[in-house]
Structure formats: structure tokens, C-alpha cells
């Protein structure tokens, strides 16, 4: 019998790529997403089109079958609705949940904190409760490198204390880890939390810096360079992230005694100044820049220690920032019909 997997956030960046990866395997996939307007919904619909889910076929709470892949179905559904989420998991006999749906973005959490409570706290509780009620014993969920805050010890290890968050987004992700631990202890729900480090690549999120910088390069607009470019991020290419998730999935299927957290990063931080220079080289544009102070809620640096991911998962990020950004720029030009 095929293992039936629920992927939340399937119209999102990581969820889309993971679904695309798993539909070429022997799993049966049910995808859900509320398709909110945090960023361009047409990009989300375009991702779904790539998966064989037509925008015109979507209606709330109606399961749609992909017209490209036999083992993929999709439902427009909000995880904040416990009743409908619970009905779906019960009716579809879900064996394993990969929970990627969340309100993303550090800076937006300052502007709209309620959205993070509704999606990242209440929504995650609903995932856990639906798992408990329907005896789904395996859960993989997205955490974030943001939980490390301004940790002065680098690289960041999953063994580090993470009790000094600098954004509400980070608070919600750390809360998710604590909630998953509690449900493992109380109800035996096996879980793996994945601390992602600045994921980038084709079909990415328009609110992310690399997307904004590329758009500004082609549009001739000015970009804001926080902390005068003196920041660094452990940029992790989407294919490496999906490889890591796939290996976590394989580990989860094989075992029944898991409550773990892994870093999925590149282990090679890039300075913001260098990052911008690479985008300028790949777009063949000089980007107008305005240096400003560091934004509240931001951290100075991120750097993933991935020793445990390597030893336990055989995780091996191989994509350089130059190759990854070239792939993104190539996709961007094709998607937005840009010639240069």
C-alpha cells in the first residue's frame, strides 16, 4: 500500500518543490494551501499549474486531482480551520504529515503579529491535534534558523540554547518545536523539526532579498542595503533543501522513535555585499543602493552547523551561491519574459 502524505503549504516555495520531487516517487500526495495574499497569488497559482492543478478548478474544500500526476491531489484549505483539517486527514487516511505552511517573514511579523499567531501557533496546534485525533504518528515540520536569534556562537548548532529570539516569527517557530516535543511525550507523535537557513532558488518568494534585488536590477529601482551590507546569511539552494527533506522523510518512515531537530543549511555564509555583487554579475546590471541601518528583528549573521545532518541523514549541500543565483536569474527572466 502506498504511503499517503499530506503536504501543507503546497503552493508555497518549499512545499511546491517538495511535492514536485515526491510525485516522481511511490508516495500518494495530498497537498493543501490557503493561497493567502502575503505575496503575489498568481505566482502560487503558477506553481500549482506546474503540478497539474488548474486555478479554474479550485474551490474551497474541494479535492482536485492533478492533470499531470496520478498520485497528486490538492485542496484549498486553511490549517487555522481545525474542523475541516481534521475531516480531511480522517477521510484521506493520511499516514504522515509534512507541515510547511506558515506565515513567513521576519520583518512582516512586526507589522502584522496576529497573522503569525493564527497561522504558526493555532495552525500548528491544529496539525498536532488532528494528528492525535486521527492517530497520525509521523510529522515533519518547518522550523527556522531564526530561532537562534543573535547567537554569538557560530556556526549555529541544534545543541545551542535558543531562548533569546529577536522577532515574533522566531518565537512562533521555537514554540512549534516545544509543542512538537510535548505531543511526542504525551501522545507518541514522532516528529522532526527542520531549521531552514535562508532558502533561495527558482519559484522563490518575492519578499526575499534575492528576489527583490533581482527585480530591482531589471526594473532599475533602488534597493535598501541593511546595516550597510555588513550582514551575512547561510544561503541554501532549494534543491539541496529538498534533498535534505527527502532524506528526513526516508528516516522518518524507517523509524518509530523520533523526536529530533536538524539544521538544513549550506554551512557557507555569504556577506550581503558579495551577494549583491553576484546578483549584479548574473543580471548584468548595476543596482542602485541605499545604505540604511539594521532592521529591527533582523540578525547579524546565520551559519548552520550541519555535522549531525551529514552523519545521520547523509545530507550534502552541493550548490554554490554562484550557480544557485544563476539558476534563479535564468528562471526569473523566463517567468517574467525578460530579455537582456
| Residue 291, helix vs strand vs coil | strand
Residue 62 has which C-alpha cell?
474541494
- Concatenating the DSSP letter of every residue in 211-244 gives HHHHHHHHHT-EEEEEGGG--EE--EEHHHHHHH
Give the separation between CA 212 and CA 340, rounded to whole angstroms.
18
Provide the b/e sequence for 11-43 (b: ≥16 CB within 10 Å): bbbbbbbbbbbbbeeebbbbbbbbbeebbeeeb
Q: What are phi and psi of 292, to 5 degrees?
A: -135, 170
Q: Are 115 and 158 in contact (CB under 8 A)?
A: no
- The one-character DSSP state at 119 is I
Residue 80 has which C-alpha cell?
487555522
- The one-character DSSP state at 304 is B
- CA 13 to chain centroid, in Å, comes to 6
- CA 26 to chain centroid, in Å, comes to 23
Query: Which among 198, 229, 193, 171 is positioned nearest to 303, based on CA atoms?
Result: 198
Sign of the C-alpha dihedral computed for residues 140, 142, 145 and 148 taken in this order: negative
The β-bridge relationship of strands 28-33 and 72-76 is parallel
Q: Cβ atoms within 10 A of the Cβ of 309, count?
A: 24
Give the separation between CA 190 and CA 248, rounded to whole angstroms.
12
From 27, 148, 169, 183, active-site residue: 169
Q: Are 211 and 247 in contact (CB under 8 A)?
A: no
Query: Which among 189, 201, 235 is positioned nearest to 94, based on CA atoms?
Result: 189
Q: Does the active-site annotation cover 169?
A: yes
Please list the active-site residues: 169
Amino acid at each position: 500500500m502506498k504511503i499517503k502524505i499530506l503536504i501543507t503549504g503546497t503552493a508555497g516555495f518549499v512545499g511546491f518543490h517538495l511535492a514536485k520531487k515526491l510525485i516522481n516517487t511511490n508516495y500518494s500526495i495530498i497537498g493543501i494551501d490557503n493561497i493567502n495574499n502575503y505575496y503575489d497569488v498568481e505566482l502560487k497559482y503558477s506553481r500549482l499549474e506546474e503540478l497539474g492543478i488548474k486555478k479554474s478548478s479550485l474551490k474551497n474544500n474541494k479535492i482536485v486531482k492533478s492533470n499531470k500526476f496520478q498520485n497528486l491531489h490538492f485542496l484549498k484549505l486553511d490549517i487555522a480551520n481545525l474542523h475541516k483539517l481534521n475531516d480531511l486527514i480522517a477521510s484521506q487516511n493520511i499516514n504522515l504529515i509534512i507541515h510547511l505552511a506558515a506565515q513567513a517573514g521576519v520583518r512582516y511579523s512586526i507589522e502584522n503579529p496576529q497573522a503569525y499567531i493564527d497561522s504558526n501557533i493555532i495552525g500548528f496546534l491544529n496539525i498536532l491535534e488532528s494528528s492525535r485525533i486521527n492517530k497520525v504518528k509521523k510529522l515533519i515540520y518547518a522550523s527556522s534558523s531564526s530561532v537562534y536569534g543573535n547567537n554569538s556562537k557560530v556556526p549555529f548548532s541544534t545543541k545551542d540554547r535558543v531562548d533569546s529570539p529577536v522577532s515574533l516569527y522566531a518565537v512562533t517557530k521555537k514554540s512549534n518545536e516545544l509543542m512538537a516535543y510535548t505531543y511526542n511525550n504525551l501522545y507518541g507523535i514522532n516528529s522532526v523539526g527542520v531549521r531552514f537557513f535562508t532558502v533561495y532558488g527558482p519559484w522563490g518568494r518575492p519578499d526575499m532579498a534575492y528576489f527583490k534585488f533581482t527585480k530591482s536590477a531589471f526594473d532599475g529601482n533602488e534597493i535598501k542595503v541593511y546595516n550597510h551590507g555588513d550582514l551575512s546569511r547561510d544561503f541554501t539552494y532549494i534543491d539541496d533543501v529538498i534533498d535534505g527533506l527527502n532524506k528526513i522523510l526516508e528516516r522518518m518512515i524507517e523509524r518509530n522513535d523520533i523526536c529530533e531537530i536538524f539544521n538544513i543549511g549550506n554551512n557557507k555564509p555569504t556577506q550581503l555585499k558579495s551577494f549583491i555583487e553576484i546578483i549584479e554579475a548574473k543580471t548584468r546590471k548595476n543596482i542602485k543602493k541605499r545604505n540604511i541601518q539594521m532592521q529591527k528583528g533582523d540578525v547579524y549573521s546565520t551559519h548552520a552547523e550541519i555535522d549531525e545532518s551529514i552523519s545521520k541523514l547523509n545530507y550534502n549541500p552541493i550548490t554554490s551561491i554562484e550557480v544557485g543565483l544563476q539558476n534563479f536569474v535564468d528562471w526569473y527572466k523566463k517567468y517574467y519574459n525578460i530579455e537582456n
